[in-house]
Amino acid sequence: MIQIIAFILLFGVSMFMAFRAFSKIRRNILLGGGDYDVVDDTPQRIKNTLLIAFGQQKMFKNWIPAVFHFFIYAAFVITQIELIEIFVDGFTGNHRIFLPFLGGFYTFIISFIEILSVLAFVATFVFLARRNLLKIPRFIKPEMNGWPKLDGNLILIGELLLLIGIFSMNGADVVLQDIDPEHYHDTGNLAVSSWLGPALFGGLEQSTLVMIERFGWWLHIITVFAFLNYLPYSKHLHIILAFPNVFYQNLKSRGEIENMPEIMTEVKSMMGLIPEDQMPEMSDDIPEFGAKDVFGLSWKNIMDSYSCTECGRCTAQCPANITGKKLSPRKVLMDIRDRATEIGNNIDSGSAEFYKEGADTTQPLTADNYDDGKSLFDYISREELHACTTCNACVEACPVTINPLEPILKLRRYEILTESAGPSDWVPMFTSIENTGAVWQMPTERADWTKSLNETEA
Amino acid sequence: MSAIQVKTAADYQAEGKEPEVLFWVGCAGSFDARAQKVTKAFVEILTHAGVDFAILGNEESCTGDPARRAGNEFVFQMTALQNIEVLNMYSVKKIVTACPHCFNSLKNEYPALGGNYDVVHHTAFINDLFSSGRLKVSGGTFKGKKITYHDSCYLGRVNGQYEAPRELLKMLDIELQEMKRCRTKGLCCGAGGAQMFKEDEPGDKRINIERVEEALDTGAEIVAANCPFCITMLGDGIKANEKQEEVMVYDISELIVQSL
């Protein structure tokens, strides 16, 4: 009975806390005020989600991590079946409630979970080694120092705790099945625990075995609840957000940079392409073009940032990063996420210092009256933005279809259009296009090359 | 061969005729000395295959690709809307271009501004000329030569066209020596995103040097490309490696012209 109460309490508290934390992530994602045009093609979106998120298609460009990652992923997904039983047992005080109903199939499922768990166990060590011993370059870039590095390792350690929980629970259970078959029903021959259990725990006292079994059960479920509450603060959030993020990926051509209809209309009216009576009303406010902060990004850009698991495949493919420039697409995403989180926390604080100048501080603090005097440019330097070649290698590389290029271009737009700043080298190119229609100011005419067509050339 | 004639869309209109395709020359193809050679090679191929093509001539402007990618939407809109006015005035339906940046803007960005055309890159266009039998090559010109191919970002990764250029090289009996980073993983030459028009940000190395080193690693004597900016970048990188006597950079159309 005490166990049931403890379980219900644990369940209630962790679900409540997780709900609050996830609601905040949702709110932070919706801080994005920019447009995101979702092309309506649900069948294609479902297909993408099945292939890329569920099937991890893009991971398999790189076989070794893909296979090991798949072990952990598959073990995680399949273990949810056992987790359902743990929940029901937890609420009802039963022990392995599904066993009598499923019989041989139960043995099969648990065995399947156990085999995957062993593979996940191996994979976890491989990943710990890749991060800490082999020091794969993409894991040791400057943006990974501190929390991101610890975060990566904590998840793997949590993974190990889960697996230790499962095998203590099942292993002790198998041994107890011989000693006390009335309480510990015969699960049949489990693929791993049927030999691992006796090997580890054979010959122990019954009371010790009961303790080990309970320890495993509680360790498993506590780790699950801890994980659930850890996710919103961790790169590991990708296990959830990868799915909506792939579903909502941009289905338009990668080559199309989002149009700016407000500028198009203005240029059209300047060029006399819009009849007088159809001219839109121009507002007197000086508009803000591009993005200065997360408010100018789309919700999808921010969802991208929370979906990022900091794997660094983008950065490893970035030509600017490869040649030692400061730009790292992963860092851009991490910065957007950290900035959105910072704003979210400040909004929750409701503190007067975060209100826009002259705003009514008796009103609740929201995205609309928020100003902390900072912007994304305090996180992402101009040097990083200017180094991008828009080559799309980062877009191609991301396993969960994050687009790091979009926010980079939105920040460039802010710099050029709103601040009239940006690299001075670009100014002659802009003026030349504007005045002569060519990227270079030339003394010749565009069609002059045709004049020398029939001259013999070496 | 008889003298090559290049007519403008205005010429066709004056004659009351319609060209089969409009050849979009682009800024590099029009003004850059190296890229002009590619333009001429492509014109020779079109003439050889008997394609009725027009250019816009002095009525053509920059597509606006570098302006848009630098963040200057105003300049992009101005030049793009201007081009669309001209293209629509001549009722242009099909466009071919030897520049993947022009190709991408015309194909993917102009529709949102009211410019809808069937846009092809010259490598795909030439490939069609072969498959429809309008063009034939004699293989063997490049027999025994080691040749590598550089995927431009805007033809390859951005528009997913990896095969047409490779098929053309195969037709020339070329045994391709692929670089380690090719197709979806092809490394940028360093010019895109308006980098062509500015100094590099501080770093250890220029991107074109990194790419050229990889190309040289294949032992290739010829680096085939499909973009005027890549050609400039790769050429500069080869010079920086002091290999300009041994290794040449060619647009695929230039290789084809040598085999006609």
What pLDDT digit, counting tens, does each position of B45-90 carry?
Answer: 999 999 999 999 999 999 999 999 999 999 999 999 999 999 999 9
CATH code, domain carrying A38? 1.10.1060.10
Does A444 sit within 8 Å of B31, measured CB to CB?
yes
CA angle A78, A82, A88 (to 5 degrees): 140
Does A393 sit within 8 Å of B188, measured CB to CB?
yes
What confidence score (pLDDT) does residue B66 get?
Answer: 98
pLDDT at B12 over 80: yes
The residues that bridge with B118 in the sheet, in sequence order, are B94
Are both B166 and B247 inside the same structural domain? yes
Residue type, A54: F
B227 touches chain A (CB under 8 A): no
Q: A390 to chain B: nearest residue by CA?
A: B193
* Ranges A71-75, A106-110, A218-222, B170-174: which has the least confidence: B170-174
Are both A195 and A309 inside the same structural domain? no
DSSP 3-state of A66: helix
pLDDT digits 0-9 by tens, A127-140: 999 999 999 999 99
pLDDT digits 0-9 by tens, A339-381: 999 999 999 999 999 999 999 999 999 999 999 999 999 999 9
How many other β-carbons are positioned within 10 Å of the β-carbon of residue A38?
Answer: 13
Are both B13 and B38 inside the same structural domain? yes
Element (H, E) at B42: helix B33-48
DSSP 3-state of A289: coil
pLDDT digits 0-9 by tens, B117-155: 999 999 999 999 999 999 998 878 898 899 999 999 999
DSSP class of residue B204 equals S
Are both B47 and B100 inside the same structural domain? yes
Q: A457 to chain B: nearest residue by CA?
A: B37
B202 touches chain A (CB under 8 A): yes
pLDDT at A278 over 90: no
Are both B146 and B106 inside the same structural domain? no
Indicate whether A43 belongs to any domain: yes
Q: Are B84 and B14 in contact (CB under 8 A)?
A: no
Indicate whether A221 belongs to any domain: yes
Are both A214 and A345 inside the same structural domain? no
Counted domains in chain B: 2
B-interface mutation test, from A390, A410, A436, most B Cβ less than 10 A away: A390
Are both B172 and B242 inside the same structural domain? yes
Are both A163 and A291 inside the same structural domain? no
Range of the domain at A145: 2-21+62-237
CATH code, domain carrying B86? 3.40.50.1860
B-interface mutation test, from A377, A429, A455, most B Cβ less than 10 A away: A429
pLDDT at A458 over 50: no
Q: How far is A65 from chain B (nearest CA, A)?
A: 17
**Which of B191, B182, B251, B179 has its CA nearest to residue B216?**
B179
Indicate whether B247 belongs to any domain: yes
The per-residue DSSP string of A227-286 comes to: HHHHGGGSGGGHHHHHHHHHHT---S-TT-PPP-HHHHHHHHHHTT-S-GGGPPPPPSSP
Are both B20 and B79 inside the same structural domain? yes
Span B204-208, average pLDDT: 98
Q: Are B229 and B211 in contact (CB under 8 A)?
A: no
Query: Where in B19-112 does DSSP place strands (E)?
Result: 21-24, 53-55, 94-97
Are both A126 and A48 inside the same structural domain? no
Q: How far is B146 from chain A (nearest CA, A)?
A: 23
How many other β-carbons are positioned within 10 Å of the β-carbon of residue A454?
Answer: 13
If you average pLDDT over every residue of chain A, what do you get?
95
Distances (CA, A) of B239 to A458, B212, B215, B234, B236: 21, 10, 13, 9, 5
Does B60 sit within 8 Å of A413, measured CB to CB?
no
Q: How far is B205 from chain A (nearest CA, A)?
A: 5
Are both A214 and A329 inside the same structural domain? no
Q: Are B192 and B229 in contact (CB under 8 A)?
A: yes
d(CA B70, CA A385): 10
Share of chain A above pLDDT 70, in %: 98
**Candidate from A254, A320, A449 with C-beta closest to B36:** A449
Domain end marker among A237, A269, A299: A237
DSSP 3-state of A69: helix
3-class secondary structure per residue, A88-106: HHHHHCCCCCCHHHHCHHH
Domain end marker among B67, B95, B130: B130
Are both A299 and A226 inside the same structural domain? no
d(CA A326, CA A384): 5
Q: How far is B119 from chain A (nearest CA, A)?
A: 13
What confidence score (pLDDT) does residue A126 get?
Answer: 97
Does A425 sit within 8 Å of B81, measured CB to CB?
no
How many other β-carbons are positioned within 10 Å of the β-carbon of residue B200?
Answer: 16
DSSP class of residue A448 equals G
End-to-end CA, chain A: 95
Counted domains in chain A: 2
Q: Name the band, by pLDDT with cuts 50, 70 and 90, for residue B217.
A: very high
Are both B144 and B126 inside the same structural domain? no
pLDDT at A420 over 50: yes
Domain end marker among B69, B103, B130: B130
Domain end marker among B69, B95, B130: B130
CATH code, domain carrying B241? 3.40.50
Are both B49 and B117 inside the same structural domain? yes
Q: Are A252 and A414 in contact (CB under 8 A)?
A: no
* Ranges A28-37, A47-56, A282-291, B126-135: which has the least confidence: A282-291
What confidence score (pLDDT) does residue A37 get?
Answer: 82
Q: How many CA atoms lie within 13 A of B174 on its CB side?
A: 29
Range of the domain at B124: 7-130
d(CA A413, CA A289): 7
Are both A173 and A300 inside the same structural domain? no
